[in-house]
Every structure is written in structure tokens, then in C-alpha cells.
Amino acid sequence: MGGTSDEREVSLSSGAQVAHALREAGHEVVAVDTVRGVIPPAEERRLLTEGVRAAPPLPSDLERLDEGHTVALTRDPDVGDVDVFFLALHGGSGEDGTIQALLDVAGVAYTGSDRLGCSLAMDKEVTKRLLRDAGVPTPDWMTGDPAADDVMDALGLPVIVKAAGGGSSLRLVLAHDRVELSEAIQASRGWNDVVLFERYVKGRELTVGILGDQALPVGEIIPAHELFDYACKYQPGLAQEIFPADLPADVARRLQELALRAHRALRMRDFSRVDFVLDEAGTPWCLEANALPGMTANSLVPKAARAAGIGFPALCDRLAALASARKKGPLS
């Protein structure tokens, strides 16, 4: 958990709750921040009670973190004999396939998608191309550094402006008019990422978790803000998250089928979360897929699992078991 992405706070909260849940399921657990190393029990307890702060860490704070511990991760005496690495990392090198590649080289078992699945899902433009090829509807888009008029001509208004490699709804703007779009284009030039412009689809926000190779019950998100932004995701009372969603059975099945198709097209494994908007005509549009979705007890995938009768400790235990079945190299 932890790491140096702008989703560090979310990852620490996920990791602390996963560690607690795994202990409840009977496992021995060592909590590791890829930046600082093994986390002492008192620090774990603090993370459990603190939750996610209202704002992500500042870039200056992240720049001060030392990533040197990551290289030595599998040689740390406290983690050298583990059976499974449970990844509760979000964003950056924890979700883009970098850590997964390191663990593959080390020959250890870890939860979730491998380096290919993570890298495909992390890049939102690559995701959209693969979704389109797999027959999963996704809103029209364009990338690059276009003029505001070109974006409006191609995609209309309002329009979504977001970083292709972002997560937790960070670096995401809904531009309603030409002025807001021009300002978003200017701001995006400092993101150090491919910028994606996406046609805005108004409708119900829905999400489908995948566990193993099965789709979990569809959930609906009703945010207090216009978008399901960082604050709505992690601050209490700013979003209703309803599982299962109040949908006709055929619509729910269609969303689950599309989510499984997306999960497979992006080569993800073990678990994922696929997000949709259901427009006013009843057409589902896939926005993105998450190879390492949030894993606090109140995150979307655990809520979907709970709706399917799977409690949080049992969910974490099942993910560890899926990884354990793949053990190879020094652990085999």
C-alpha cells in the first residue's frame, strides 16, 4: 500500500482495512508501504481510524517521498517469506503494471491483474480503443492539444477533460462552455500526461464489480456534486451508493455482460470494477475500467460483494486464494 501517486491516501486507507480483514479471516499479515517499508501496528491502527483526507496529497509532498524502498521490497526480512503479496495500491507505479512487473521478476504471487492488464486499464485512451473493438459502447473522444473550437466541433458541450492515466477522479474537469474548456485545456498542459477529451453523457452512474470471472450485482452512484469527484468518493455523506441498483433485470444483465467483456478485453484478472453511464434512452456507455479499485470496506467493489452475500474479510480471503493458486518460483 501507499506509494507515491496522488492516490496515496486512498491506498493507505485501503491497505489498512485489507490487512485488518485478512487477519479476521485467519491470515498472518505484514503491512508494507512501498515508500517507507513495514508499517508498525500503531501506525496501522491510526490509518484504520483516520480514513481518507478531504484533499489528495500535494505534489510537493509526493516529490519528497523516496521510492528507493520499492526495489528492495521482496528482500525485506519481514516480507521475504510471505505466500502472497496483496496489492492495495492505487495510481502511479502501483496500478500501471510497474510493481506487478517487479513481482513477476521476483517470482512471487500477488493479487489482481498482471502488468499487462494493469497497463491496459490504466491508460484510458487504450482502454477506450479496446472497448470499442470488443463491442462495448464508449463515448466518443479525442486526445492531444486541440483548440477549444476543435473539441466543441467534434464532441459538443459540455465535455469531459481528463488525464488518460488518472484515477479517483483527480485531474478531471467538466467544461460547460468555451471559457471553461479553454481554461481546462490550459490547465491540462501541466498534467504531464496524455489529455483525453470525452463526449459528456448525461444519465445514471452505474458500476459493476468483477470477482473471479463473475459479475457482481450492479450498483448505482448518486453524487451530491455534478460529477462523482474525489470528495464525493471519499468523504461521508456526499454520495449515495445503492447495491443492487434499481434496474430492470434485462438492463442489469446487459451491464454485467458488458463489464465481463471489458474485463476480458483488458486482460484483467481476479477482480476489477467497470464504470458506466446509462443515458436517458437506456443505452449503457462504458467510461473506464479499474484494475485495482478501492478496497476499503465501504468501497464500491466490497459493497457489490456484500450485496452478493460476500463479506469484506471473505472477499479479501478469496482474492488471496486466487493469487495463492498461481504461486511459482521461490514460493512454489
- For 20-42, write each residue's pLDDT tens digit: 999 999 999 999 998 888 999 99
**The predicted structure's pLDDT at residue 332:** 37
Tell me the mean pLDDT in the region 77-100. 86
Q: What is the band of 3 on the pLDDT scale with cuts at 50, 70, 90?
A: confident
Nearest CA to 302 out of 281, 282, 318 is that of 318
Indicate if the pLDDT at residue 306 is higher than 60: yes
Burial of 251 (0-12, 13-18, 19+ CB in 10 A): middle
Architecture per CATH, 202-291: 2-Layer Sandwich (3.30)
Q: Is the dihedral of CA 94, 271, 217, 206 positive or negative?
A: positive
Indicate if the pLDDT at residue 312 is higher than 50: yes
Residue ranges, comma separated, of all CATH 3.30.1490.20 domains in the chain are 141-199
Most confident of 56-65, 91-100, 280-289: 280-289
The residues, ordered by sequence, that sit 6+ positions from 135 with a Cβ below 8 Å of its Cβ are: 261
DSSP H or E segment with residue 13: helix 8-24
Match 458506466 to its residue by C-alpha cell: 276
CA distance 90 to 5: 7
CATH topology of domain 141-199: Dna Ligase; domain 1 (3.30.1490)
Q: What is the band of 236 on the pLDDT scale with cuts at 50, 70, 90?
A: low
- Asked which of 90-94, 216-220, 282-286 is least confident by mean pLDDT, the reply is 90-94
**The predicted structure's pLDDT at residue 227:** 64
Tell me the mean pLDDT in the region 232-239. 62
Indicate if the pLDDT at residue 307 is higher than 50: yes
**The predicted structure's pLDDT at residue 330:** 42
Residue ranges, comma separated, of all CATH 3.30.470.20 domains in the chain are 202-291
Indicate if the pLDDT at residue 57 is higher than 60: no
The pLDDT mean for the chain works out to 87
Active-site annotation, residues = 7, 168, 234, 273, 275, 288, 290, 294
Indicate if the pLDDT at residue 234 is higher than 90: no
Tell me the mean pLDDT in the region 110-126. 96
CA distance 57 to 59: 7
Overall pTM surpassing 0.85 (yes/no): yes
**The predicted structure's pLDDT at residue 69:** 45
The answer to whether the CB of 286 falls within 8 A of the CB of 136 is yes
**The predicted structure's pLDDT at residue 42:** 94
Tell me the mean pLDDT in the region 299-307. 96
The residues, ordered by sequence, that sit 6+ positions from 189 with a Cβ below 8 Å of its Cβ are: 145, 195
Indicate if the pLDDT at residue 68 is higher than 50: no
Indicate if the pLDDT at residue 269 is higher than 90: yes
Tell me the mean pLDDT in the region 228-252. 79
- Asked which of 34-38, 52-56, 310-314 is least confident by mean pLDDT, the reply is 52-56
**The predicted structure's pLDDT at residue 225:** 61
- Determine the length of the chain: 332
